[in-house]
Amino acid sequence: MSPPLDRLLTIMARLRDPAGGCPWDVEQTFATIAPHTIEEAYEVADAIARGDLPGLKEELGDLLLQVVFHARMAEEQGAFAFADVAEAICDKLIRRHPHVFADASIDSAEAQTRAWESHKAAERAARPSGAEASEAVGGTLAGVTLGLPALLRAAKLQARAARVGFDWPDASSALPKVAEELAELAAEIEGEVPTGPAAEARRRDRLEDELGDLLFAVVNVARKLTIDPEAALRRANGKFEHRFAGIEDGRALEGTPLAEFDRLWDEVKAGE
């Protein structure tokens, strides 16, 4: 390994040393570190979205630390070490790129995507019995990670179903489903408001179902447009932050009439 990586592994081992390490690092587990791993991945994506290369370098280091942390805890349990993680991904990359490392032929990026998915399906089929016990279903949809953000997982589930023909022809064909789900949500919102805790809980479940169906339909449109729904929503979040900051602009907003908010919003939007 390279000297910087050796140094990082040594530092991590020192931090996890029960006799003289950091008390916080020593008491961590896979479960407690997992949320930090997810957060660091998002911070990498954020640095990329902002075009911040110095920040990307730092965030990639933070993400690498997460891999080293998990590998160190696994090594302490005798399960595997960082070198095993690196070896496994090397083997996987070679196995999934026979057109580069063997004599297979791939004509396009789209063909490579199909081949990649075929390799993944074969790998799932070869796993020991019970290896996919954490998955909700088997078959075509097996292996779509439960821990993914919901928008991203929806897109992946839809893409899997599309591989066997369960799909809209194009984005225009998927749009009416959005309108249908929106109408169903509106009907539920406008329906009679129940009284009593049990009835209120049932209505809330129905509202959540309808809202979920609407979001799922919107993701389908995004997928047909080859737009990442997570990226689209992040962009919308950024737009909202910018416009709301323009509305605020030193003003005391509490008590502002809605009509005035609308006027200020339109003014900021027009100035973009």
Pick from 43-47, 53-57, 197-201 the range whose average pLDDT is largest. Answer: 53-57
DSSP summary character for residue 70: H
**Lowest pLDDT segment from 51-65, 92-106, 137-151, 218-232:** 137-151
Contact 220, 164 (CB under 8 A): no
If you average pLDDT over residues 11-35, what whole number do you get? 96
- As given in the structure block, the two tokens for residue 28 are 């961590």
Query: What sign results for the dihedral spanned by CA atoms 60, 65, 80, 38?
Result: negative
Residue 204 to residue 211: CA distance in whole angstroms: 10
**Per-residue pLDDT averaged across 53-65, rounded?**
97
Query: What pTM was computed for the model?
Result: 0.66
Give the integer Cα–Cα distance in Å for 141 and 144.
6
Structure tokens, 150: 């919901």
pLDDT in tens, 205-226: 999 999 999 999 999 999 999 9
Question: Residue 143: its pLDDT value, please?
Answer: 80
Least confident stretch, 47-56, 105-114, 158-167: 105-114
What is the signed CA dihedral for 31, 37, 42, 43, rounded to 10 degrees?
140
Q: Which residue has the higher pLDDT, 127 or 42?
A: 42
High-pLDDT (> 90) share of the chain, % = 69
The H-assigned helical ranges of the chain are 3-15, 23-26, 30-49, 53-76, 82-95, 98-101, 109-125, 150-162, 171-190, 197-224, 229-248, 258-270
Output the CA torsion sign for 33, 38, 41, 45: negative
What are 122-170's pLDDT values in tens digits?
A: 776 676 654 444 455 668 888 888 888 899 999 999 999 999 999 999 9
Please give the pLDDT value at position 133: 42
Query: Residue 203 is encoded by which pair of tokens?
Result: 């209505």
Contact by Cβ (8 Å): 181, 213: yes
